[in-house]
Structure 1
Amino acid sequence: MEKSGLFISKELFFQSLIGSFTKLSPGKAFSNPVMASVWVGTVLLLLQIIYHSFLGRYIQFDVTILLWLILTLVFANFAEALAEGRGKARADSLKKTRSSGSAKKVKSENDKEFTIVSSSELKIGDLVYVEAGEMIPGDGDVIVGIASVDESAITGESAPVIRESGGDRSAVTGGTKVLSDFLYIKITASAGESFLDKMISLIEGASRNKTPNEIALGILLASLTFLFGLAVLSLVPIADFVSKETGYHWNLSFSIWLSLFVCLIPTTIAALLSAIGISGMERLIRYNVVAKSGKAVEAAGDINVLLLDKTGTITLGNREARAFYAAPGVREEELADASQLSSLSDETPEGRSIVILAKQKFAIRERNLQDLDVRWIPFSATTRMSGVEIYNDGKLTKNIRKGSIDSIRKFVESKDGTIPKEVTAKSEEVARKGSTPILVADGKTILGLVELKDIVKGGLKERFTYMRRMGIRTVMITGDNPLTAAAIAAEAGVDDFIAEATPERKLERIREEQSKGYLVAMIGDGTNDAPALAQSDVGVAMNTGTQTAREAGNMIDLDSNPSKLIEIVEIGKQLLMTRGALTTFSIANDVAKYFAILPALFSPLSPLNVMRLSSPESAVLSAVIFNALIIPALIPLALRGVKYEPKSADSALARNVFLYGGGGILLPFLGIKLIDFILTGVF
């Protein structure tokens, strides 16, 4: 996938060119107050030319000015159309994957009998069965099965991903393809409201809402246009006064007056403002991040604190059982047997890994539990335990629980049991090396613990170091105990962590940071992350996460890569810097043009005519041509964005003022003089 550059296909170029002319309609033109004033002036000049042509007056100069004013409008429209077209090209590729195929609808999970229906008929809550080689008919959550899925149509990445029931990698997207095994999926979005449909509507920049900063800048530009309009109007009585007092006739025809007005008002930034905003969202798309609003992109540029959920974000998400540590007087095989029993109904990756480890170490296979009275104890966020109770002739023979240290301690203490010191010491040792100790008990007897190893994603430590240089403080959020959390935080390289976190604690931390004036970003993938994602200023949901998380976030990372926030922040900063830099350039540019051409028009100011322009008419026409040509010249910068480098705000501001402010003053003098040479035949 193209991450940088400004490659524009021939098809996109001509589509944008056509769009540039369609946007000349009044309805489109008046959405931008600055360019609307140019549009009105151009129409009035056209009417004057038609009128003068009937009177037989000289109109060649006016016609030339008219053509360049039309080109000014076309170039401004082209910038916006090109930015929109780049986003729509991505949307069109997604539309090709959206088709109304068939679906195997079932009545219950594991049901082998199915009914063929159209995918457009599926409703929320329907169950479907998808086999290898088939397209997933709609957005949903996997409730049974594990399979590799090709999501290249959505993410652009060729490597398949694993989708499975349980955990935070259960969400699937309609239009993707199952490559192996099978899945039973519960539909979570009806036709026309799928994630793919929402992505397409978000990517199409034409429906983009303006951000608050963009609206504020638009008001400022409209105000400057009004003030500069008054300044140009004041030249009319000045010209009359000069004519009466000195006898010098200053030609201030409507075409010349209009040219001065267009050259003075901030046409450059007004022409590029919309393109800057649209291209910011489009750059995110090239990094496989979909922003639901431009406001979120802007906020990303000012992020101070980043909160990351550990499981699935910092770690790979699937903790694996690595070892059994039996309590004193308990055989390791006995611990493994109890651990496997308590995990047989556990559909999470962790539960499955415990079953597999027991099989690998002690060849403990599936057992016949049909003759026994078995009662499964599902995991509860309140008790933080799961397990199994086995009865024989109505008598409780096994009362197995597995869970966190604190939860099992409370369980055994309620039955007058205790945790052996050796087990406590071993759990602390396991936690210190970054693994998660899971205690296993049978009634009041502690059998031992299972070590679950979290695997930190590669390259995160370096990325977090870079974030620190950007002024972003990283905070890991986890439900693990403090010892485990501290070890993983050190391995990942985050600045701080919150251990034993609950959804309420996540919200509390975000609000604490926001109350201090910080902007907070949150990255998460689970349903329990949804409140925090919604509360944060920038909520980035992993595409591998649950549907609830994706709905709560205002950005979705299709690659599910937490370090992607670096690109998100850089693009946000680029957006703000580009808008500021081109605003500085535009204002300096327009003022410089004004002082460059006035001396050529007004004889008493001729000593200030440092460019020695050949004639008043050439000066005006050169300025109008330069004013039009500078817009397409700056389109690549508006689409690509000003390059961001981690440095202090004062240093970045000084650089931009020097480069774009100084360049905005010097460039018109050079450009107008060069055009004057060309017009007068020097070249």
Structure 2
Amino acid sequence: MTTTGTYSVKGMHCASCAAIITKKLSKVEGITRADVNLATEKVTIAFDHETLPVEALNDAVSRYGYAIAAEPGTASAGESQKIAASGAIRLKEEKKQALLDQKAKVQFALPIALLVFILMMWDIGSRFIESVPNLPIPMELFNIISMVLATWFVFRIGAPFLHGIVMFLQSGAASMDTLIGIGTLTAYVYSALITLIPSLRELLRVPDYTYFDVTIVVIGFVLLGKYLEARSRMKTGEAIEKLINLQAKTAIVLREGKEIEIPSEAVRKGDTVIIKPGAKLPVDGIIIEGFSAIDESMVTGESIPADKKSGDEVIGGTINKQGSFTFRASNVGSDTVLARIIRMVEEAQGSKAPIQEIADKIAGIFVPVVLIIAAATFLIWITVGSSYLGFSVALSYAISGMVGILVIACPCALGLATPTAIIVGIGKGAEYGILIRNAESLEKLSSVDTVVFDKTGTITTGSPKVTDVTPLSEGTTPESLLQIAASVENRSEHPLAEAILDEAKRRSITLRDISEFKALEGMGVSATIAGLPVTIRKPLEAERELAEVKRLQAEGKTVVMIEENRIALGLIALSDTVKTEAKAAVAALHRRGLKVIMLTGDNRAAANYMAGQVGIDEVIAEVLPTEKAAKIKALQSEGRKVAMAGDGINDAPALAQADVGIAMATGTDIAIESAGITLLKGDINKVAQSITLSRATMNVIRQNLFWAFIYNIIGIPLAAGALYPFWGIFLNPVFSGLAMAGSSVSVVSNSLRLKAKKLDR
């Protein structure tokens, strides 16, 4: 049996780190799949054994400088809520502390790096611009000061980069730290040798120009880039933090006749929970006494408070706006709606979109290729460059070119391009009540061109309501007709009876006393009111020819006749009604260029009538549940990309067959496992919002990947000196460090733009 586990990873810096960890973990016995997410710093592992010791995972990666720890939240249902929240807080605090440590290093190193950078630019300017004076300090003194500072930078502040070199020499696994380490150490060693051994400089006939300043500035800028990247990445995980913060800390329960306050994770299934005005609900349950209006926006995305009364379901994490009530706990711990949502969002944010496979494959070979290019650049400058420029100048350019390539070719932007956008996109969806199960569903939804809706419970409310009350005899009014019908149906258990009673209640009609109630099998019901026999039944064959009956039945409505003392008093028509938001939802899909189809088992007349009310393009009616998947497959065979929206239970085969399944859900009845996307509250307006979100997310991913690729395609040749033979331009390694820092920050910042995206447009 395959089990999936999520683990935190420490020590990752770039896409090549993720590639190394993936490769090494995949070789561990029992592991069938390992998905490493750089942005969340987590790895999701599928394995065959019942348990997989963390020690076994660490044995596979520790020698490469990485550490793996089990994720919190795998305890029993009663404790998991507390552990998940406290674990998330602990991990966040650890990340905050690591960020503070990075900030302290940057605050120390950056001012020095900036000062050296200014002096370096001054020195370069004085060599080429006559109006710029020479440095006010002798070059020999400047080199000594720079060497002291560079020594500190390389061996103290840049220690992680040196560790990257050691890791590469020991195992052949190269990361971003390896590139930076080799580049800065090469520049430092060369500079130290010609400074400390003047005779060597004279022997090689190289100028007295050193790269201490380059080493200091590159390490300073790389540290700044890493800090800004880490700070930006923390912002991408705010959705999970917000969801966790929704959980109530305490609960008031009734135990042995007394009200006691306990931690919310200690609430047991069946407990009676007391909720006061303004209180946050600790768990899910069913109201047993009282009524209120509850703000469910933080869970469902619905801004208007929901009225709740005895018998209604309530969701943990929502807020009681008015009144007091008690409810019986039904779902606690990891079984609550909020806990399941948190778990779903976490899993989705850690999943990979198919488009990321491109970046992963490139990242796996990127660093070794860069090392080869850097070595080739060095050799070309030494051999070919010496023929035209002389050995000393060629050596200077060879070192600059090699260092520049190693610094500029950081694969961070490539590794962050997809996961940061996925994390922000899925978090944005959760805020709107759109639960996305995995990144693959999010990507596929962006290419959908056809949306198929089930009718009952999706386009319609899923419960019958009275639509028409039509008197047929003189002296009968709609109110009197409804009073007679409701009085008789009050004894019936038929679903249509409930709809008639609801309509009578809505119109404030008082029921009459009845006697001799009977259920007429296959026909209706009968009773006696004020001594007169009353029958509520199906229309007789002759009555079906009445114009009004024909019209109502053509609209797919169910018609019942009310007969008193064998005289037809009138008729009542009932029908499943269209959701108030359905027409606007279909129009929103049309504006996005999508074809909308209704797929239903109802009769064609009813289906066509409903479809006409909301503007649906095509109707496929009278389809058995077992045939729905085949209809979806037929649409796909026409080349369509299909999203199917249904209730997530009886439409399961069709949801599974569709390119993307969208489950409609209400309250605690969430079919999270039935589809790739679940819409809370069953609001079909969110279908269009989901598509907008997926398209926006994929656009950001494509932008990120484009700039990550272009950045390296352009940057590496520039750093190597490709422009020098034509225009005498050579990119200083310092600017390579600036460009490298900027690339990662720009990718993360571009992904964060999704937070401001308006999904209604």
Distance 2:464 2:293 in 1: 19
Matched to 2:718, the amino acid is: A
- Contact residue 103 and residue 137 of structure 1 kept, 8 A: no
Structure 2, unpaired ranges of 5+: 1-91, 106-158, 166-172, 197-209
Instruction: Give the aligned partner of residue 18 of structure 1.
Output: 99
Give the equivalent residue in structure 2 for 1:189: 331
**Counterpart residue number, 1:212:** 354
Deviates more, 1:563-572 or 1:310-319: 310-319
**What is residue 437 of structure 1 aligned with on the other side?**
558
Distance 2:236 2:275 in 1: 40
Per-residue deviation at 1:268? Answer: 3.1
In the alignment, structure 1 residue 639 sits paired with structure 2 residue 761: no
Q: 2:250 & 2:459 partners in 1: Cα distance?
A: 37
2:180 is aligned to: 42
**Are residues 1:590 and 2:712 paired?**
yes
After the TM superposition, which of the residue ranges 310-319 and 300-309 deviates more from structure 2?
Answer: 310-319
Q: Tell me how far 1:521 sits from its aligned partner.
A: 2.3
Q: Write out aligned runs for 1:538-557 (5 A).
A: 538-544=660-666, 547=669, 549-557=671-679
Equivalent position of 2:447 in the other structure: 302
Query: Does the residue aligned with 1:547 lie in a helix, a strand or coil?
Result: coil
**Of 563-572 and 127-136, the range deviating more from structure 2:** 127-136
Q: Residue 267 and residue 130 in structure 1: after superposition, are their counterparts in 2 closer, same or farther (change >3 A)?
A: closer
Match of 1:281 among 408, 426, 450: 426
The CA RMSD over aligned residues, in Å, is: 5.0
> What letter matches 2:404 in structure 1?
S
Answering whether residue 745 of structure 2 is matched by residue 623 of structure 1, we say no
Amino acid at match of 1:69: V
Amino acid at match of 1:274: P
Point out the structure with max Rg over C-alpha. 2
The CA distance in 1 between the partners of 2:491 and 2:432, in whole Å, is 40
C-alpha distance in structure 1 between counterparts of 2:520 and 2:298, whole Å: 40
Deviations 1:424-463 (A, max 9, x none): 753441245x573244699xx9977532355544565454
Aligned AA (1:61): V
Amino acid in structure 2 at the alignment position of 1:608: F
1-side partners of 2:473 and 2:221: how far apart?
Answer: 90
Structure 1's 367 and 273: CA in aligned 2 closer, same or farther, altered over 3 A?
same
Where do residues 22-421 of structure 1 align in structure 2 (5 Å cutoff)? Answer: 37-45=175-183, 59-84=212-237, 86-95=238-247, 98-103=248-253, 120=265, 126=270, 133=277, 136=281, 138-140=283-285, 148-155=293-300, 157-162=302-307, 171-177=313-319, 189-204=331-346, 208-242=350-384, 245-246=387-388, 247-248=390-391, 249-251=394-396, 256-264=401-409, 267-315=412-460, 319-325=464-470, 337-338=484-485, 340-342=487-489, 344=491, 346=493, 351-358=497-504, 363=509, 365=511, 367=513, 418-421=540-543
Q: Normalising by structure 2, report the TM-score.
A: 0.62
Counterparts of 2:258 and 2:660 in 1: how far apart (Å)? 42
Q: Distance in 2 between matches of 1:16 and 1:506?
A: 54
Say which SS state the counterpart of residue 544 (structure 1) adopts.
coil
1:606 aligns with 724
Asked if 1 retains the 8 angstrom alpha-carbon contact of 2:648 and 2:674, the reply is no
CA–CA separation in structure 1 for the residues paired with 2:623 and 2:282: 36
The separation in 1 between residues aligned to 2:348 and 2:671, in whole angstroms, is 26
Q: Does structure 2 conserve the Cα–Cα contact (< 8 Å) formed by 1:305 and 1:519?
A: yes
Distance 2:696 2:542 in 1: 57
Deviation at 1:300, TM superposition (A): 1.5
Counterpart code for 1:493: G
Offset at residue 484 of structure 1 (A): 2.6
Q: Secondary structure at the match of 2:616?
A: coil
SS at match of 2:574: strand
C-alpha distance after superposition, 1:487-512 (max 9, x if no partner): 22112111123445554344443343
Q: Partners of 2:371 and 2:188 in 1: how far apart?
A: 25
Relative to structure 1, the CA distance from residue 555 to residue 129 in structure 2 (aligned partners, 3 Å threshold; closer, same or farther) is: same
- Which runs of structure 2 are paired with 1:443-522 in the superposition (5 Å)? 449-452=571-574, 455-458=577-580, 460-478=582-600, 480-500=602-622, 503-522=625-644
- Cα distance in 2, alignment partners of residues 344 and 129 from structure 1: 34
Q: Return 246-255 or 129-138, whichever deviates more.
A: 129-138
Match of 1:668 in 2: none
Label 1:194 to 1:277 Cα distance change in 2 as closer, same or farther (>3 A): same
For each residue in 1:12-59, what CA deviation from the matched residue of structure 2 results, as whole angstroms up to 9, or x when unmatched?
9x9599289499989xx99xxxx9722222344566678779866553
Residue 523 in 1 paired to residue 674 in 2?
no
> CA separation in 1, counterparts of 2:330 and 2:740?
53
- d(CA) in 1 for partners of 2:505, 2:241: 51
5+ unaligned residues in a row in structure 1: which ranges?
A: 1-10, 107-112, 378-384, 392-396, 402-407, 410-417, 647-683
Determine the C-alpha separation between the residues in 2 that align with 1:316 and 1:211: 34
Q: Give how far 1:116 is off.
A: 8.2
Amino acid at match of 1:42: I
| Aligned AA (1:341) | V
Say whether the 8 Å CA contact 1:90–1:203 is kept in structure 2.
no
Taking a change above 3 Å as real, the CA distance of residues 153 and 281 of structure 1, as seen in their structure-2 partners, is closer
**Contact 1:327–1:423 (CA under 8 A) maintained in structure 2:** no
What is the Cα deviation at residue 156 of structure 1? Answer: 5.6
TM-score by length of 1: 0.68
Asked whether the 8 Å contact 1:151–1:160 carries over to 2, the reply is yes
Deviations 1:514-556 (A, max 9, x none): 4555433233447545554455443334452562534423333
